[in-house]
Structure 1
Amino acid sequence: MNREHNRTALVTGANRGIGLETCRQLDLAGLDVVLASRDPDRGRAAARTLNSPRIRAEELDVTDAKSVRRCAERLANAGVEVDVLVNNAGIYPTVSYFSLDEDVMRRALDVNLMGAFHTCQAFVPDMVRRGYGRVVNVSSGLGALTENVPSPAAYGISKAALNALTLVVSAAVPQSVKVNAVCPGWVRTDMGGRGAPTSVEKGADTVAWLARLPDSGPTGGFFRNRRRIDW
């Protein structure tokens, strides 16, 4: 039997868009999936649309360290070990820098950076202990310093910081735990809008690929369309 049938993936912000599609693709690949969302009712409704016995919905507010710890405790008490962590939860403020107020900036950092900080601290140590783990941080080329000045301001800065966190965590764990970031592209979701050129299936493809890397796979990288890109 494929060992992926023994693996469990937790996907944050998974009640819609790229997160929900990632859950679908990982379920089809044979993984058990924890569909995590801030709103438990929306999470359960999203899980029902996938109609799979391998998918369970969990309440998880990534901006709240206590919520993350409670989720980790519930899963541990249920005997669920998280082997794959997909940090997908994110927001996309588009306010220009000189119109940006502190609350919007802090909210972007809370969700896009601190969310992954909280979940990595909660779930990665057990991956290290078990000798297997995959962490995928859903980032953006808009946070890549080599492509442009990160923009829009709050979004780009928070995603550049998420890229830095990816490198820090990857350096702090053994090679058995793969930690990578992904730019899914401009995707047709509620966030990306109807005019986006990339389907949600294509946007989630590299996310799901990184979540299932073999032992020989890369770590500490930034990827788009399954290819490494510059930070």
Structure 2
Amino acid sequence: MTPIVFVTGGNRGIGLEIVRGFAKEGCKVLLGCRNEEDGEQAIEDIVGADVQVIEMDLSNDQQVEDTIVRAEAVYGRIDVLVNNAGVMDDADWQDLDVSKIKHSMQVHVNGAFTLIKQLLPGMLERNYGRIINMSSGWGSFHEGMEGPLAYAVSKAALNALTLNLANSIDDDKNVQINSMCPGWVHTRMGGRDAPKSPEEGAETAVWLGLQEEDGPNGKFFRDKTEIEW
């Protein structure tokens, strides 16, 4: 079976490299992004692969639900979901408006959950599915929750969502839900001083998406190695 993959925030940075990575593995890929033209431009050099662009806005839950219906109709199903889309608000708590926290939670947690809620039932019914949530060490209690408040708290909540949902999966089901940290990556969000390339940041997501039946569930990874929450 050729996996069908849906990647949010797939038009640049790590997301685009995740799209490339799955395409190189022969997967059919749906690239989710806020602007269809940006997505089409991003995939111009991905030659010989089956990649389709899906316009979506994670800030609107109803639109997300409607988009997933359209996305599933393209190939008939979605086997792998990568919740990669993210926002970075680096304001200190003294200067942070509550609306900014709400926006970070909407993109990182609410939007991700809306997608999972739409797709997980089909994965369970078909007895095959992989969900990868793009988190961060900045949202890790083990690493001190050292990131900017809105970003760190929303990523920690995404980790909690990951573990709670993974615990709900019966052991006999071939469905896996995991979080990952890409590390400090040279992207628009990570900045030019970051030591890792987007390609390196994407590797763990592709690796998790192509895990065999006995692969991990309810775990947190960086560089294909399990780390603490």
Picking from 201, 206, 226, the partner of 1:228 is: 226
- TM-superposition CA deviations, 1:195-230 (whole Å, max 9, x none): 101111110000110111110111100000101000
Picking from 199, 202, 211, the partner of 1:201 is: 199
Q: Where does 1:91-170 land on structure 2 (aligned, <5 Å)?
A: 91-170=87-166
C-alpha separation in 1, matches of 2:180 and 2:109: 14
Q: Where does 1:10-159 land on structure 2 (aligned, <5 Å)?
A: 10-159=6-155
Q: TM-score, normalised by structure 2?
A: 0.95
**In structure 1, what residue type is equivalent to 2:222?**
R
Contact 2:23/2:49, CA 8 A, preserved across alignment: no
- TM-superposition CA deviations, 1:98-130 (whole Å, max 9, x none): 211111111111111112111101111110111
Structure 1 residues 150 and 122: alpha-carbon distance in aligned structure 2, compared to 1, 3 A threshold = farther
C-alpha separation in 2, matches of 1:166 and 1:29: 25
Contact 1:96/1:152, CA 8 A, preserved across alignment: yes
Q: TM-score, normalised by structure 1?
A: 0.94
C-alpha separation in 1, matches of 2:212 and 2:4: 15
How big is the alpha-carbon RMSD for the aligned residues of Structure 1 and Structure 2?
Answer: 1.2
Displaced runs of 4 or more, over 4 A: none
The alignment status of 1:186 with 2:184, answered yes or no, reads yes
Contact 1:150/1:160, CA 8 A, preserved across alignment: no
Contact 1:176/1:215, CA 8 A, preserved across alignment: yes
C-alpha separation in 1, matches of 2:222 and 2:49: 31
Contact 1:68/1:122, CA 8 A, preserved across alignment: no
- TM-superposition CA deviations, 1:155-207 (whole Å, max 9, x none): 00000000000011112223411000000000001111111011111100001
Contact 2:4/2:75, CA 8 A, preserved across alignment: no
**In structure 2, what residue type is equivalent to 1:197?**
P
Q: Which residue of 2 aligns with 1:219?
A: 217
Offset at residue 79 of structure 1 (A): 4.2
**In structure 2, what residue type is equivalent to 1:75?**
A
Q: Which runs of 5 or more structure 2 residues have no equivalent in the other structure?
A: none
C-alpha separation in 2, matches of 1:166 and 1:206: 16
Structure 1 residues 125 and 160: alpha-carbon distance in aligned structure 2, compared to 1, 3 A threshold = same
Offset at residue 150 of structure 1 (A): 4.5
The alignment status of 1:176 with 2:174, answered yes or no, reads yes
| Seq. identity, % | 39
C-alpha separation in 1, matches of 2:74 and 2:205: 26
Contact 1:62/1:119, CA 8 A, preserved across alignment: no
C-alpha separation in 2, matches of 1:203 and 1:126: 29
